[in-house]
Amino acid sequence: MVGSSLVGCYTLQPTSGAAPSVGENVAFDVNDAGRMALGGSLGPEISQIEGRVLGSENGEYVLAVSNIKLLRGGEQVWTGEHVRIKSDYVGTTYERKLSRPRTIAVSAVGVGLLAYIATRSIKGGGSPTDKVPGDSAQTQLIPIPNP
């Protein structure tokens, strides 16, 4: 439940055109030239690369990639591998920002679910006076003689 609430709390919003700063979580839409150039290392059908900016030099971004979205709808999860992306290969740049409406909605659902669970009985049926069968330490085996 925590993982789904974290996804619901953030959204990608287009930047105002300024270059992303180091440490910022961003996503880059990859243009056709980028797909051709990066196809050998990232795959030919990438549409968007998401990750944390590690640096920027000579018109290239160094990104710790966390996710790649594909043209036909699939996604690939990455674990922070470093990739260099030329700014010429980038269409739109997005930054990952907190979304208050999503945060409120996901929190309300979580609180509602917890309230529902808390108001339901967790213990099973039966009463405390029901007899409990003895364990094997109390059981005696009596041999039956053979005729």
pLDDT tens profile 26-46: 999 999 999 999 888 888 889
User: With 50 as the cut, is the pLDDT of residue 85 above it?
Assistant: yes
Q: Is residue 105 part of a domain?
A: no
Q: Where are the alpha helices (H) located in the chain, listed in sequence order?
A: 2-9, 32-42, 100-118
Q: Which of 46, 7, 30 is nearest to 92 (CA)?
A: 30
Chain centroid to CA 70: 17
- Evaluate whether residue 145 is within a structural domain: no
Over residues 68-86, the mean pLDDT reads 92
> For the chain, how many structural domains are there in total?
1
Q: Is residue 117 part of a domain?
A: no
Q: What is the mean pLDDT of residues 52-61?
A: 90
Cα distances (angstroms) measured from residue 32 to each of 47, 48, 75: 9, 11, 18
pLDDT of residue 101: 64
In a domain, 118, yes or no: no
Q: Give pLDDT, residue 135.
A: 59
- CA quadruple 122, 125, 128, 131: dihedral sign: negative
The pTM assigned to this predicted structure is 0.59
Positions of E strands within the chain? 10-14, 25-30, 46-57, 60-70, 75-86, 90-98
Domain that holds residue 80: 2-98
Q: Is residue 17 part of a domain?
A: yes
Residue 70 counted as domain residue:
yes
- Domain CATH code at residue 7: 2.30.30
Question: Could you tell me if residue 47 is inside a domain?
Answer: yes
C-beta separation of 128 from 48 below 8 A: no
